[in-house]
Amino acid sequence: MNALVVGDFKDVERDQVVKAAARADATAVFCPSVSKALTRMRACHEPPVCVLVSGEADVKQLVDGIRDEAELFSVPVLVLLARLSSDAYRAAYLAGADDVVIAADIGGFTRRLANLHQHPSNGRPAATLGRAVVASHDEESRRRLGRTLRHVGFEVSYASSIDEVIRGAQDGQKPAFAVVSGAAPVGAVASRTGLPNVANLAGIPTLFLAAEGSQLATQSDDQIADVTGKLLFFADEQAKADFKDRRVSARKLYSSICSFREVGGLQPTYGVTHNLSREGMYVRTLDAPRPQSSLWIELHAPVNGTPIHLRARAVWQRLPGSGRGVLPPGFGLRIDTEQCPPRDLEALASGYEALGA
């Protein structure tokens, strides 16, 4: 099992990465630049289990190059940061990275490799979640959005415009939902899930991604508005539409840096929240805690931005390659309201209510 490591590293840093990989029975293969790394991956018959890239390198160029290749599309990209920085962490996710490793917690690389080795993401799941249509004039945008949906189990069709999607629906080819690269029409408003630019056109739930946003991740409303995260949240909501009324409270898109650790632990792990309800949340990470473990989690409350500390329990986890499902790798947690500081719980509740309002 090979992990490709990209960037200019000092000898001591290389040694740390090599040892961390070896503890997961993996071999670290180094490439000094993004261009050489992409050339190597395109020439190899077997893709690496993951790519670990220095935060000093051009992460976006690397991610774009990987996602443009069908054979490499599902290879996870991890960014290695020399020191913890919220700006650097945010930049890594906005560039399209799947996860971030802090050099001070190089053991986090070992744990992520072990998870990837246990659940290799080989091949695509069967297209059993229904048909989605991706509409865009831009071929690159259309291809990336379509591959993202196909790799989580949707059958994907393509169109050049929303008008073409509507005509197809009128001819009896109505999709479960549509994703359009371009500006939303007048009347498209933020949904109750906190996801903006959603409309119902001819009975088709439709997500509009700004033309530049379909290729680049953007920041809005203090969230890490990663395009993949927005797309998968919307697709997951449509796939589970029949179950929405059974929920105690609605899930809302909320993407923000957080830290979590088992109760009493000293070393935090960092991730990005994906969705939020009154009772819990889902966190994106390749280093998910054990189910049923008690956690401390810190983050900024939605909208009001108040730093809060919560007590919670990990309920379930989704690891790469662990089967069908629309959510990105991570874990779901249930908030232990009786153990949380009351003011922090109030800040979370008021922020949740304001999302999508």
**Full-prediction pTM beyond 0.85?**
yes
How would you classify the pairing of strands 2-6 and 50-54? parallel
pLDDT of residue 199: 82
pLDDT of residue 118: 79
Beta bridge partners of 225: 218
Please identify every stretch of the chain with a pLDDT value under 70, giving residue numbers as ranges. Answer: 119-124, 183-196, 211-222, 225, 242-247, 321-324, 356-357
pLDDT of residue 245: 53
DSSP conformation class of 174: -
Q: Which amino acid is at 234?
A: F
Domain residue ranges of the chain, discontinuous segments joined by +: 2-118, 131-246, 252-354
pLDDT of residue 137: 81
Say if CB 186 and CB 157 are below 8 A apart: no
What phi and psi values does residue 122 have, to the nearest 5 degrees?
A: -95, 125
Q: Tell me if 2-118 shares its fold with 252-354.
A: no
Beta bridge partners of 79: 53, 100
Rounded to 10 deg, the angle between the 107-118 and 11-22 helix axes is 40
- Report the alpha-carbon distance of residue 329 to residue 320 in Å, rounded: 6
Task: Give CATH for domain 131-246.
Answer: 3.40.50.2300
Name 210's Cβ contacts closer than 8 Å, sequence gap at least 6. 182, 183, 197, 218
How would you classify the pairing of strands 280-284 and 269-276? antiparallel
Q: Which CATH number fits domain 252-354: 3.40.47.10, 3.20.20.140, 3.10.150.10, 2.40.10.220?
A: 2.40.10.220
Alpha helices in the chain (DSSP H): 11-22, 34-43, 59-67, 86-94, 107-118, 139-150, 162-170, 227-239, 342-354
pLDDT of residue 216: 45
- Report the alpha-carbon distance of residue 179 to residue 165 in Å, rounded: 10
Specify the CATH architecture of the domain 2-118.
Answer: 3-Layer(aba) Sandwich (3.40)
Helix-strand-coil percent breakdown of the chain, rounded to 5?
Answer: 30, 30, 40
